[in-house]
Amino acid sequence: MAKKHIHKYHKINLAYSRLWACALPDCNHYMPKHLENNVPGKKSICWECGNEMILDDHNMLNDKPICLSCDKSTGNVLSALEHFGVK
């Protein structure tokens, strides 16, 4: 039976393609290329802080996705939105 846990997704090189796979040592889960569009919306573990997050088109640009809180590139935008009262 499959082990229930939140995967820690990252991109790996496998033969002639790149796939999303779990990096946890006791997990051999990967998402086949033809099902890759199912990855956005899945829970994953942030590569920076280790907290749970939801994968989306933005954080999946990184081979090792990080959460919004750890993403320095979104910090300025978030600060500006907060300044103008947008939450």
pLDDT higher than threshold 90 for residue 17: no
- Residue 21 neighbours by CB distance under 10 Å: 18
Q: Which residues of 29-42 are buried (b: 16+ CB within 10 A; e: fewer)?
A: eebeeeeeeebeeb
The C-alpha atoms of residue 39 and residue 41 are separated, in whole angstroms, by 6
What pLDDT digit, counting tens, does each position of 57-85 carry?
A: 999 999 999 998 898 876 556 555 665 66
Taking each continuous run of H as one helix and of E as one strand, the counts in the chain are 1, 5
The per-residue pLDDT of the chain, averaged, comes to 86
Q: What is the pTM of this model?
A: 0.78
- Specify the pLDDT at position 38: 93
